[in-house]
């Protein structure tokens, strides 16, 4: 996953360098990305905000669980987040998505299958096997 993280940091770097700073990837340990702010950023009182608001948000947005690595615990609907999939009327009730769901949140319904949004982790595994593209982000 290091190349993907580097790519995200590279996309942020020009904005940091414009202010005389930079960011360096130190380590990825157990899904935790450690970075070092350098130059003007290192001693800047806004550094924490830069880390939280800019770098962390970019990593969360652009490195998705479907890449095989979950860099964070996505919020579910029940926790006040918006990350979940839903099943549309395109569903032909084939059942292919059920065994693919790591959260076991897909159930047989009438007439279409349904997703328990409070358990869905937004992994997109269901979308990968659905023959009718009925699994879509909610
Ligand atoms: S996105 Fe993932 S967790 Fe959510 S319903 Fe589909 S397979 Fe299950
Ligand atoms: S794989 Fe698609 S068509 Fe099959 S049950 Fe799931 S949502 Fe419906």
Q: What is the mean pLDDT of each run of 10 residues along the chain (138 residues)?
A: 82 82 79 75 63 73 55 40 79 96 92 90 88 91
pLDDT at 47: 64
> What is the best residue among 87, 99, 126 to mutate for testing ligand 1's pocket, by most ligand atoms within 8 Å of CB?
126
Cβ atoms within 10 Å, residue 2: 10
Q: What angle do CA 35, 41, 43 make, to 5 degrees?
A: 105
pLDDT at 76: 37
Residue 58 near residue 66 (C-beta atoms within 8 A):
no
pTM of model > 0.85: no
- Rounded to the nearest angstrom, the distance between the alpha carbon of 66 and the centre of ligand 1 is 10
C-beta pairs of 131-134 under 8 Å, 24+ apart in sequence: 131/92, 131/94, 131/96, 132/90, 132/91, 132/92, 133/90, 134/87, 134/88, 134/89, 134/90, 134/91, 134/92
**Ligand 1 atom closest to Cα of residue 119:** 3
> What is the best residue among 122, 128, 136, 138 to mutate for testing ligand 1's pocket, by most ligand atoms within 8 Å of CB?
122
Q: What angle do CA 119, 121, 126 make, to 5 degrees?
A: 100
105 Cβ inside 6 Å of ligand 2: no
Residue 40 near residue 17 (C-beta atoms within 8 A):
no
């Amino acid at each position: 996953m290091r190349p993907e993280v580097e790519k995200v940091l590279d996309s942020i770097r020009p904005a940091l360098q414009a202010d005389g700073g930079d960011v360096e990837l130190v380590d990825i340990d157990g899904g935790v990305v450690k970075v070092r702010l350098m130059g003007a950023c290192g001693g800047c009182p806004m550094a924490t905000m830069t880390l939280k608001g800019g770098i962390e948000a970019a990593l969360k947005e652009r490195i998705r669980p479907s890449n095989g690595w979950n860099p964070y615990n996505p919020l579910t609907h029940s926790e006040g987040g918006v990350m979940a999939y839903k099943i549309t009327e395109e569903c032909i009730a084939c059942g292919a998505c059920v065994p693919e769901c790591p959260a076991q949140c897909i159930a047989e319904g009438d007439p279409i299958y349904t997703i328990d949004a409070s358990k869905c982790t937004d992994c997109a595994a269901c979308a990968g096997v659905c023959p009718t593209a009925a699994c879509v982000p909610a």
